[in-house]
Structure 1
Amino acid sequence: MCWSCNPYCGGCKPPKEKPRACPICGTYNFPERKNCKRCGTELPPLPKRPTVMCLYVDDLCANPCNKHKKPSQDGIVKTCKYRTPPPNTSDNSE
């Protein structure tokens, strides 16, 4: 059990995106920024997180925390308020 929450840990809830460095000047920028706050260079896109099978809720999750690695201790499938369903990749526009 944690004493205080580290938002980048990802142990009990999905981790926050870490600040990224500008490839030109090296300045760290918040993930929601599209351009560097110092030099204005366009930042590379954020990598997509993989969709995984969450053993805690027994379903797919597109924004997993570390709970997905093992089932609940009592063996009963639980619900998770942070579960993110994967985007629908099927194309039905025929």
Structure 2
Amino acid sequence: MDMINAILIEVLGSIAENERLKIRRRQREGIDAALKKNVRFDRPAIAKPENWDTVVKQIDAKETTVSQALQTLNISRSSYYRLRQNNPF
């Protein structure tokens, strides 16, 4: 009885492993096809707010703080610093 259980477990494990390999292969094929079509997989870029230049100039001139600017721009702190790094002015 133990031998039958061991054989059954081996067979089921082998089937599961083959299924997982098929899934990974199909996933890789899909990713490769998307890359050929120039599909981007990273986060979508956030748009610069309309009043970005004005607010950044105010921050640089120390007329306002970053916290106040975040409320004015209606964006998160991480988005502000990401935009600031990519678009200083």
Task: State the TM bucket, normalised to the shorter chain.
Answer: under 0.3
- Larger strand percent: 1
What is the TM-score of this pair, normalised by structure 2?
0.22
**Structure with greater helix percent:** 2
Q: If you compute each CA radius of gyration, which structure gives the higher value, 1 or 2? A: 2
